[in-house]
Amino acid sequence: MPEVSGGELVAQVLARSGVDVVFMLHGAHIDPMYLACVDHRIATIGVRHEAAAGHAAEGYARAGRRLGVALVTAGPGVTNIVTSMANAYLDRTPVVYLAGAASAAEDELNALQSGIDQVAVARPVTKWAHRIRRVEDITRLAEQAIRIATTAPTGPVFLEIPVDVLSATAEARRAPVAESIRAGSRIAPAIDEIDEAIRLLRAAKRPAIMAGGDVYATGAWTELRTLARSTSLPVFAQFEALGTLPCDDPLWAGTFWQLSQLPRTVQPDLVLALGVRFGWHAPGFETALDAEIIHIEVDPKEFGRPRPARLAIRADCRTALGVFNDRIQLTDEFPDRSRWASELRETIASSIRTQAALSPSEHDGIHPYSVVETVCATIGPDAVIVGDGAFVKHWLDDAIACSRPGSYFTHGALGAMGIGLGLAMGARLANPDRPVVCMTGDGSVGFTIAEFDSMVRHNIPVVTVVMNNRSWARPDLIPRHSNKPYPTIGTALGDARYGDVAVAFGGFGRTVERVADLGPAIIEALSSGLPACIDVPIPQATMPAFSMRALRTA
C-alpha cells in the first residue's frame, strides 16, 4: 500500500481546504511541512520575524474573509507568535497556527528548542490548542482545527506537530483526507424575536443601526443596505464593516467612536447592534450613551456587555438580516428618519472640522488630520487601508471614507502595536488587484521594520506612510491627576529616516515635509510597483478629536 509522510498529510489538508498561501519562518522542526507545501504549490511567504508571519496570516484572513495559516518552528518560533494568537483570539480571526516541536524521544533531554509546554502557552489565547502524537491522526486533527477556526464565532487554533511525527509515514488509507472539511456556521433567529425587534425600531424616536465585524465577515452588506434603505435608519459601522453602507450614502452616519461622542440631543435612543462587541470596539455605552440595545450576535457571551440588552437574539448577521428584510415587507412603512441622519452627519463633521483646524504647536510638521485626509483622498476608492499605531488609528477613524467593505483594518481590543506591516502583506496577497496602504506611527513601524525586505523578496507592493512625531505616542496628553512634567525617558524617539530604510531593503522611499508634496509622493510610490515607505513629520502635541474625548468617557 502507498505510504505518505506527516508533512505531506498536512499539505493535503491545507490544499483541500482551499489554502493557497502560508506565512512562515523556516526552522528544522517544520521542514517536512514546508517542503510538502512547496510540492503542493502552496505559496510560502517567508518573513523576517514570526510575529509578522502571524500578523500577515491575520491580515490575509481578515481581508480575504478566509482561513489564514502561519507556520512556525519550535520554541522561540512559538513564543514569537503569541501576540498574534492573542490578537486573532480577541478579533475572532480564523487563523491556524502550525508549530513544530522536538520529538517525543527527546523529552526531558534538554533538546534544542524544547522544554516548554507550547500547547499550554497557546491554550489561553486560542479557541483550541492540541499536540498531534501520531502520523495517522494528522488529517483528522488538522481538519478538526480548520472546522473550529472557521465556525462562528471564528478564531485562532494552534496545532503542535513534533518533527518525528512530521517525518514519519503511514499508509495513505489509514489517514484519508475528507472531501468536505469546513462546517456550516449559519444560525437562524426566531421569527417572533425579529418581529419584536421590528416593533421596537418602529416605535423608537431615534433608532440607528450599528454594523459590527460580523456584517462584514458573513458578507451581509447587501442585506444591510436593503434594511437601512427600507427603514431610513442611519448606520454606524466598525473597522472592516466600514463601507457596508458606502460613506457617501445619505444614511451613513459615522464610526462607533464618533457615535460614542454625540451630544445627548442627537444620540440614538435605540440601536440595532449587528455583530457588535461592546467595550473598546464600541465605546461609550458604559457611561456616555443611554440607548437601549437590540443585540444580534453569534456568541451569547457577548450579551450583557456592557449592560443587559432590551432584546438579545442569537444569530449570524447575514441570516438575521435576511429574515428582517422578509418580515419588514409584511409591516407598515417605517417613519422617515433621513433628516435625523443628516443631523448626525453634520454634528460629526463639525467636530472633525474643529479638531482639524487646530494649529501644530511644537514644530512645523504636517497636521496629522491633513496627512490622513490627503492619503484617503489620493489612494482612491479601491484601496485597502491598514491602520497601525495608537493615535494614527484614531486619526484614521476621523477621516476614513470607504465605498466598499473590507477596506479598513486596524487594531482590535488587544491594542497590539507593530501589526501593520504584517497585516498589510496579508491584505495585499488576499486582494492582489487592490492597492494597499499601511498608515503607521514611527513607534509601531519599528517593531517589524525588516519586513520591507520580505515585501521586496516576495514582490508585495505595500505603500507605508509613517506619521513621525519622534515619540511613542504622547502619554503626557492623556488626562491624568498629576501636574508634574511627564518624563521623556522611554517615550522619546530619534530622528530616524524610515523612507531610507525601505530604500536600503530595495524598496521606494521618500521623506515628505510639506502637505502639498504628500499626494504626489503617494502616487509615485503606488506607480513604482515597489514596497514603499513615505516618512511624514507631524507635530507632537495634537490628539484626535474623538479618541481624546473617548479616553475620558468610555
Catalytically annotated residues: 29, 50, 113, 415
Q: What are phi and psi of 217, to 5 degrees?
A: -60, -35
Q: All 3 cell numbers of residue 312?
A: 438579545
* Cα–Cα nearest to 312, from 321, 301, 322, 323: 301
Among 142, 257, 272, residue whose Cα is nearest residue 215: 272
Peptide bond into 176 cis (omega under 30): no
- Which residue has 497601525 as its cell numbers? 388
Which element (helix H / strand E) includes 297? strand 292-297
Is residue 202 within 8 A of residue 196, CB to CB? The reply is: no
Cα distances (angstroms) measured from residue 166 to each of 15, 105, 111, 135, 170: 17, 14, 17, 7, 11
Beta-carbon count within 10 A of 128 CB = 17
Nearest to 545 by CA among 170, 258, 323, 141: 258
Distances from the Cα of 252 to the Cαs of 264, 393, 413, in angstroms? 19, 20, 24
Residue at grid coordinates 435576511: 322
| 223: its cell numbers | 442585506
- Alpha-carbon distance of 484 to 539, in angstroms, equals 22
In sequence order, what are the beta bridge partners of 296? 274, 313
Report how far residue 233's alpha carbon sits from residue 496's, in angstroms, rounded to the nearest whole number: 48
Degrees to nearest 5, angle at CA 26 with 24 and 32: 100
From residue 256, alpha-carbon distances to 200, 209, 283, 397, 548 in Å are 21, 11, 7, 9, 14
191-203 vs 317-328: helix axis angle to the nearest 10?
70
Three-state helix/strand/coil letters over 125-193: HCCEEEECCCHHHHHHHHHHHHHHHHCCCCCCEEEEEEHHHHHCEEEHHHCCCCCCCCCCCCCCCCHHH
Q: Alpha-carbon distance 172 to 175, whole Å? A: 5
